[in-house]
Structure 1
Amino acid sequence: MTVTPRIEFFEGIAEELSNVRLRQGKTSGIRNVLLMFETLNAIDLVNSFTKRFTGTVRLIDEEGEISAVPSNFKFRVGANEEDDILGAECQIDIESDQDWERVMRFLHRYAEANGMGYEGQ
């Protein structure tokens, strides 16, 4: 059975990833993934009241589900308080090599399914 890779904050509401940054702490050595979103489908009031918030970010693909508590989550807003949300960033810290490899397999599948590519720096 083929499962389309997806990212969820609320059960059943898939989010569209706009960018990913992979980083590693200079002193801690802990690797993290920064997931960036231009919009969040979960912000729609109907969705947030009718779907169950999991308290985690869920990465779902054919291997199963990765459920992680974000180490950081922030909304990007315009210059004025009345401005709309311009996007969101969700950071996940990953300590073990096995977990890192699993997340990377998910990201490759997600990128392939959504026409995204790798851009090295």
Structure 2
Amino acid sequence: MTATSPSIQFFAGIYEELSNVSLRREVRTGKRIVMMKFAQLKAIEGFNSFTKQSLNSLLLTDEEGEINVTPSSTRFIFGGDEGDELQGVECKFEVEREDHWERFMRFMHRYAEANGMEYGEK
């Protein structure tokens, strides 16, 4: 049995590379908020600027299985001389249940280890 490498996909078979992630807790409600940042998205590199591609589902996969996430917001950041170069994408979602949070953190630790990322607290 081989361990499944941790992966992130918006579309099946197109593996994305996470550039950063920030974890916050909303003081008022106690909800945990995850902000995943991608410097680029392979899922949309093939589309032109007139294509509005919906990124309404995120699939996180590791040796434990799959986690399906529906982002509460997805923000595209553009820049460059003409202002039309994709500089990055921010994908935000909330995690309310403690068991879901623990499962997400196990995924993140595996993903970080597999991709040479470090966990740091500010």
Q: TM-score by structure 2 length?
A: 0.87
Query: CA distance change for structure 1 residues 100 and 22 in 2, over 3 Å: closer, same or farther?
Result: same
Shift of the alpha carbon at 1:27? Answer: 1.1
Higher share in helix: 1
Is this contact kept in 2: 1:7–1:57, CA < 8 A?
yes
Contact kept, 8 Å, 1:11 with 1:54, in 2: the verdict is no
Distance in 1 separating the partners of 2:98 and 2:57: 21
1:63 aligns with 2:64: yes
Which ranges in structure 2 are unaligned for 5 or more consecutive residues? 48-53
Partner of residue 110, structure 1: 111
Distance 1:78 1:54, change over 3 A: closer
- The equivalent residue for 2:100 is 99
| Aligned-residue offset at 1:120 | 1.3
Contact 2:6 2:114 in 1 (8 A): yes
**Contact preservation (8 Å) 2:55, 2:74:** no
Compute the RMSD of aligned alpha carbons: 1.7
Partner of 2:21: 20
1:83 maps to 84
> What runs of 5+ residues in structure 1 fail to find an aligned partner?
47-52
**How many equivalent pairs are there?**
115
Secondary structure of the 2:108 match is helix
- 1:15 and 1:106 map into 2 onto residues whose CA distance is 15
Shift of 1:82: 4.0
Please say if 1:6 is aligned against 2:4.
no
